[in-house]
Amino acid sequence: MQFLFLRVIRPHVVLLLTSMLLFTTGCEDDDHDDHDHDEGHTDAEGFVLEDESGAEVYREFEGAMTGTVALAVGETLELTVHFLDHDGEEIEHEEEEGEEDHEDGIEVSGFDSSIATVEVEGHDEEGDHDHDEEHGMAIHVIGVSSGSTSFQLQLMHEGHADYTSTNNVPVTVN
């Protein structure tokens, strides 16, 4: 009786094991394809703004922030932007050959332009391409009149934000 039962169930067990093997292999290929699709995305947990001398002016990491951007009326402050990984270490920005710069980059919004303007430094400025590769992305903050404002920073990738600052970056113009 047991022998008959094993003979009846054997084809079903083989079919089940074969199906599981094919399903598992198929899922692994799908995961690999998703990884290739997401390869260009940046998994940032924060960012640092540094002045031209390399001194940290502002830091946001996992929602906590330190520092403020301060400048005088009429002054232009160039700040490099460095994004941070989950350990608080700088994420190296690597440009692939043939990559079009206008699809990726940073965007700023929310500032009061009567107090200060915040502009993203363009990659197409002559002579600045080497500077961008060495330091990453940069913004210019221009003091217009005394007061305070703030701005939001986003790291854009193919039309959507890979990272959005959780706090607005404070700007004080004296």
Share of the chain above pLDDT 90, in %: 51
Quick: pLDDT tens for 49-66: 999 999 999 999 998 999
| CA torsion, ordered 12, 18, 20, 26, to nearest 10 deg | -150
Determine the Cα angle at 165 with ends 163 and 171, to 5°. 145
Give the whole-angstrom CA distance, residue 16 versus residue 18. 6
Neighbours of 51 (CB within 10 A): 14
| Confidence grade of residue 35 (pLDDT, cut at 50, 70, 90) | very low
pTM over 0.75: no
| Confidence grade of residue 93 (pLDDT, cut at 50, 70, 90) | low
DSSP string for residues in 20-76:
HHHHHHHHHHHHHHHHHHHTT----SEEEEE-TTS-EEEEEETTEEEE-EEE-TT-E
Question: For residue 31, what pLDDT is reported?
Answer: 44
Question: For residue 123, what pLDDT is reported?
Answer: 53
Give the residue, 48 or 158, on which the prediction is more confident: 48
- Please, how many CA atoms are within 13 Å of residue 120, restricted to the half-sphere of its CB? 19
Q: How far apart are the first and last CA of the chain?
A: 94
Region 121-131 average pLDDT = 51
b/e code 60-70 from CB counts within 10 Å (16+ = b): bbeeebeeebb
Give the whole-angstrom CA distance, residue 57 versus residue 152. 16
Region 131-144 average pLDDT = 73
Let me know: does 123 contact 100? Beta carbons within 8 Å: no
